[in-house]
Amino acid sequence: MGSEETTSSALGLGRDLMLAGSRLRDAVGRRAQREFGLTALQSDMLLLLALRGSMISTELAMACGVNASTVTHAVDAGIERGLMVRERNAEDRRLVDIALTLAGKRMAERVRALVADLARTALEGVDQPAVLAESLAQVTRNLEKGQAP
């Protein structure tokens, strides 16, 4: 395969990855809004907080790929619904952790089931989904390395 062919192939794959991610996020957002009254961002935040326990808003913003003010608005909405809480960080009192309430943990489980259902649909006809999952995890690790200063 020549250099131009490799570049063209990588560009096509990159576009397909971006489109697939966008379509999955849109599908999650539509169903989460319809079924739970949550945005795609709020759904993503619930899953991240369920996985990590708590995060400060800048970590949450970086993990979700949005700015801090967007996270602040989404967290405010989550607090208003009783899904999230802000707590002083035990190790550094200057920081404020965002964590899930019991209701937030239950909602995160519902969102996890919704994402799993959509992923099953998205993977129909895909041979070796485990290989695809590991490959996508490697893509994510590669991209995260590129974000370091």
Residue with tokens 């490697």: 138
pLDDT at 132: 87
Cα–Cα distance, 79 to 64 (Å, whole number):
18
Alpha carbons 144 and 149: distance in angstroms, whole number = 11
Give the largest Cα separation in the chain, rounded.
56
* Mean pLDDT lowest among 2-11, 25-34, 90-99, 130-139: 2-11
pTM of the model: 0.81
Options 1.10.10.10, 3.90.1150.10, 2.40.170.20, 1.10.357.10; CATH for 3-147 is 1.10.10.10
**In the predicted model, is pLDDT for residue 11 greater than 70?**
yes
pLDDT tens-digit series, residues 67-90: 999 999 999 999 999 999 999 988
pLDDT of residue 149: 47
Give the residue-averaged pLDDT of 43-61.
94
How far apart, in whole angstroms, are the C-alpha atoms of residue 34 and residue 15?
28
Per-residue pLDDT tens for 95-135? Answer: 899 999 999 999 999 999 999 999 999 899 989 888 888 88
**The token pair that represents 103 in the structure block:** 């209701």
